[in-house]
Amino acid sequence: MQFHNYVGSEGDDSSPSDYDWNTDDELEVFGIPPSDPTISSQESCEDSVGESSASCSSAKHSKLIHLFVGMGFSRETVIKAIDENGRDNEEDIMEALLTLTAEKPLTVEKDEALSVLVNMGYPFEEALTAIDKCGPKAHISELADFISASQLEKGLHSPQESPNNKHDASDYTHEKPCQPSGEYYLHTSKKVKLGLGIFNEASQVISRKFPREVANKPYFYFENVALAPKGVWKTISRFLYEIEPEYVDSKYFCAATRKRGYIHNLPTHNRSPLLPIPPLTIQEAFPTTKKWWPSWDRRTKLNCLLTRVAPGPVTERIRKLLEKFGDEPPLHVQENVLVEIRKWNLVWVGKNKLAPLEPDEYEMLLGFPRDHTRGGGVTRTERYKSLGNAFQVNTVAYHLSVLKGRFPNGINVLSLFSGIGGAEVALHRLGMMLKNVVSVEIAEVNRNIIRSWWEQTNQRGNLIEVEDVQKVSSNELSQWITKFGGFDLIIGGSPCNNISGSNRVSRHGLEGEQSSLFYEYFRIVEAVMEIQRDELL
């Protein structure tokens, strides 16, 4: 299977909402914002002089249709979903579209399927084999997934094959691939360039050019949610030296989706994944669930892991509902249950019995060691909150793997917004010695977790804890740089509170109270570069 992430095209104002993610991530896909998240549809109507409420309503209806058709759903299906759910709840519309798509997948005859696959850039023989294996009525994306999976297996032995394949499947949605592995192919869009690929990438890798002042160390690495309000990533990119973001969905590194944007000046060649490769599907991660998994729950990936879990009454209500029916509940019951299942990332643990993930299961999916957040006075609720805001370790380690050969004697790290130490864990799992780490984290519970991990793993370096990123002064930075001989890596992701699609109240982007802390990240990166540049002169 080929894997792709995307870098925004130069000179445009595209945002990750332009890209064909094609997953039902409750926080980030359901939360795709309107053009201006600070202006509601109601306000827009009221501000339109001479425009009737009917015409404004019609405009909103057309905008919704355009939005979801642009995501790959058919116009007929979109109109049906809007009629059934109303125009004011995009989350319900999205759920309906996902359900309808799952029930009525796009099918094409063999000759037409061959034509489509070849036009997408797949070799004729491989397209024909996929159709023979998956059947002539298979969804186009299932066929693409099958071919990509076959190419991945070949790539494991000769990763440089097919260096220039480019595919465009932006007109198609997809559900479950016919390949048993359950992995997904992330379709490309005409609006973006291929490149900065994930492991075993067979597509063309784009060379990146940096301004001279950031072309070498200190390396920096910034992360935040991919589907941010319009213009957010363009602003972040402008401050971080006009470097285009790299958008990655962590579903390629674990059994849960986690769509994030990364801006960094790291090399992109010769990346390598952490081994062993973790389970990539739900049932690989939780094999005991297979016995109870109903055929009508077609999930192979979990949605983005949240900072909260379903309350008991949700799973109890579902159990009582399903007990009224046999093994095959009516379609409308399946639909309603699947809405709750996807929303809360529930898994099957018995007959008609669903349960939320446990904190240790969060840890496994996110690449942290077992019990990383357990004990030391940390409550169950705090564990979910800390884990839900953390890095996905395998994804970050894949990007940071290029540093291993550059710092054989250890690395000095300035870790901003450290959380529970996802960056530190990633570097440790890569086998890199943490010589000196300045960890800046506001939450005491998270600082305790990092300190405990540092002790439990017998780190030989120095851990310096700082509470408030806003109080990190140039004088302190200069002292640390003199003491350590400079920072090699500045890493972190500022709060996404005012950026995330789940925030309907204060989604003010980088002007929000929490997310404006991005500017502290930039301030510190700029200061470190200036100090270290001056010291080298």
56 is catalytic: no
User: How is 4-34 classified by DSSP, letter by letter?
Assistant: -EEEEPTTS---GGGS------TTTTTT---
Residue 352, amino acid: N
- Least Cα distance to 185 among 68, 23, 304 occurs for 23
Are the CB atoms for 236 and 224 separated by under 8 Å?
yes
Catalytic residue among 134, 254, 304, 496: 496
Paired residues of 8 in beta bridges? 192
What Rg, from alpha-carbon coordinates, does the chain have? 24
DSSP annotation of 456 = H
Neighbours of 428 (CB within 10 A): 19
Neighbours of 307 (CB within 10 A): 15
**Residues 6+ positions from 162 with CB-CB distance below 8 Å:** 151, 202, 203
Neighbours of 154 (CB within 10 A): 13
Are the CB atoms for 134 and 172 separated by under 8 Å?
no
Q: Nearest 5°: phi and psi at 285?
A: -75, -35
Cα of 477 vs its chain's centroid, Å? 32
Neighbours of 450 (CB within 10 A): 23
Are the CB atoms for 494 and 417 separated by under 8 Å?
yes
Are the CB atoms for 279 and 304 separated by under 8 Å?
no
H/E element holding 97?
Answer: helix 90-103
Pairwise CA distance, residues 476 & 280, whole Å: 43
Pairwise CA distance, residues 148 & 128, whole Å: 13
Catalytic residues: 496
